[in-house]
Amino acid sequence: MDTVLLVLEIIGTLAFAASGAFTAVRRDMDVFGVIILGLTTAVGGGVIRDIVLGLTPPRTFQLPVDAIVARAASALVFVIARGGWTEKNSGPYAVAMLVMDSLGLGAFTVSGIGTAMETGENYGAFLLVFVGVVTGVGGGVLRDVMAGETPYIFRKHIYASASILGAVLCVLLRPAGDALAIALGMAAVVVTRLLAAAFKWNLPHAGRGAGTGDKEGL
């Protein structure tokens, strides 16, 4: 289980660090801002999870592997962005970011639940689902707040809902084996997220902004 969780953490870290770094590039931040926003996006959800579970100091500060990976990925994004890749290849860029963001959301959602289960405490289903979703979406919320934007989870496609679905499925399938529960839970998040983007699924919007969310792309 330790190896599985480590792999999931690395996948999520790489994906979300890139997401945060590209957001910083679009906001015209300098290299320091790009790295910090990428780092915050990658580890923010895990830090919140650990605080909720009483794991202090958070694992990011005890074993800073995720932080190192996130900083390296963010620096690489900065170099790529300076080469104009995001402008010259907007279509492939958008698709790549959608896939990476979906993988990160799925990986962090189930790794959050796995971390909670590994503590040895007999946590209830509600707390497991909660920490899974917080781990999945927490970093993205911090990213958007720091970038001065409305958090993505409140306005775009089926995002937090996909995390909730995967977390619930992961918890319900625990009796069948942790590995199977984690695999199917992550798959549910990723597939739901990709289908929502492909078919423009959205939760109802209120007021004049209703139905306008899809104009921002994938």
Task: Give the model's pLDDT for residue 86.
Answer: 54
What distance in Å separates the CA atoms of residue 137 and residue 3, rounded to the nearest whole number? Answer: 23
- For 159-175, the pLDDT digits (tens) are 889 999 999 999 999 88
pTM of the model: 0.85
Is the preceding omega at residue 175 within 30 degrees of 0, hence cis?
no
- For 105-130, the pLDDT digits (tens) are 999 999 999 989 888 778 899 999 99
What distance in Å separates the CA atoms of residue 62 and residue 79, rounded to the nearest whole number? Answer: 29
End-to-end CA, the chain: 33
Task: Give the model's pLDDT for residue 41.
Answer: 93
User: Cβ distance 18 to 73 under 8 Å?
Assistant: yes
Phi, psi for 3 (deg, rounded to 5):
-65, -40
Q: Enumerate the domain spans of the chain.
A: 2-204
Is the preceding omega at residue 57 within 30 degrees of 0, hence cis?
yes
Axis-axis angle for helices 90-118, 178-198 (nearest 10): 150
Q: Which amino acid is at 198?
A: A
Task: Give the model's pLDDT for residue 119.
Answer: 83
Task: Give the model's pLDDT for residue 122.
Answer: 84
- For 136-153, the pLDDT digits (tens) are 999 989 998 999 988 878
Task: Give the model's pLDDT for residue 84.
Answer: 64
